[in-house]
Amino acid sequence: MFSTIAYDLSHLAGATVLLAGFVVLYQRRLLGVFRAFALQSLAVAAAAAWQAYSQDAPHLYVTAAIAFLLKGIAAPIALNWIVRRLDIHRTVETAVGIGPTMLAGVGLVVLATLLVLPVTVSSAALTRETLAIALSVVLIGFLVMITRRNAITQVVGFMSLENGLVLAAVGVKGMPLVVEMSVAFSLLIAFILFGIFFFRIRERFDTLDLQSIESFRGERR
């Protein structure tokens, strides 16, 4: 019976991650988006910790701890701080309406499922499902980045995309720790860079709406 519980629990954690991705898509308030992202990171941490326990791979505990501390706690606090510091308008500005975005999200989940299932016929059921969910999370992260105008929500999309990558990484056996560490730290550095850019963009254009940068580059006239 142990195998089914292991299966069910990782299935549950994966589904929570995906669901939190949809909550990020659904939210209209920036603080709600951060909270949903924190929930997603916590679910990723739980998934990693559970895999570490069930696969008996202690290095995955490190992954779980990184996801928990860095993305579950530090990143949302930092984002909150940036929003308060820059005094940003706290509604999410969307390029496409919420409804169509959600529909596109469901389409991406179906796409990911159809894509992963035939490719991984030979692997175990758990791996296939985790991969399908992880690919959906990655695609939804892309979708968030595409459909949001504000730079700060695009960063949240980027980090939830990385959550999907971590989910895929912990689901497959034999992922070396070095790779995960470097991914986590590159994310941290990217986050710091984004933070600096926020201040620079804000100073230059008085807004974080990236449309004004496009017109500045001469892409729109």
Partner 1 sequence: MIPAAISALLLQLLHVALALAAAPLLVGSTRFAKSRLQGRRGPSPIQPYRDLLRLLRKETVLAHDASWIFRVTPYLVFSIMTVAAAMVPMFVLDLPLARAGDLIAIVALIATARFFQSLAGLDIGTAFGGIGASREALIGSLAEPAVLMVAFALALVAGTTALPAIARFVLSGGVGVEVSLALALIAFLIVAIAENGRVPVDNPATHLELTMVHEAMVLEYSGRNLALIEAAQMLKLLVFISLISALFAPWGMASAEDGLDFLEVLAGIAVFGLHLLVAAILIAAVELAIAKMRVFRVVEFLGGAFILAVLAVVFRFVTEAS
Counting contacts by CB under 8 A, is residue 4 touching partner 1?
A: yes
Counting contacts by CB under 8 A, is residue 15 touching partner 1?
A: yes
Whose CA is closest to 71, among 30, 109, 34?
34
Question: By CB under 8 A, how many residues form the interface with partner 1?
Answer: 25
For the chain, the distance separating the N- and C-terminal CA atoms, rounded to the nearest angstrom, is 64
Contact with partner 1 (CB under 8 A) among 95, 119, 125, 192: 125
Counting contacts by CB under 8 A, is residue 8 touching partner 1?
A: yes
Whose CA is closest to 76, among 29, 139, 129, 31?
31
d(CA 15, CA 17): 5
Stretch of 37-45, 49-57, 88-96, 128-136 lying at the interface with partner 1 (CB under 8 A): 128-136
Annotate 153-199 with DSSP letters as a single string: HHHHHHHHHHHHHHHHHHHSTT--HHHHHHHHHHHHHHHHHHHHHHH
Counting contacts by CB under 8 A, is residue 113 touching partner 1?
A: yes
Contact with partner 1 (CB under 8 A) among 12, 78, 190, 213: 12
Amino acid present at 127:
T
Counting contacts by CB under 8 A, is residue 102 touching partner 1?
A: yes
Contact residues: partner 1, CB under 8 A: 4-5, 8-9, 11-12, 15, 18-19, 22, 26, 98-99, 102-103, 105-106, 109-110, 113, 117, 125, 128-129, 132
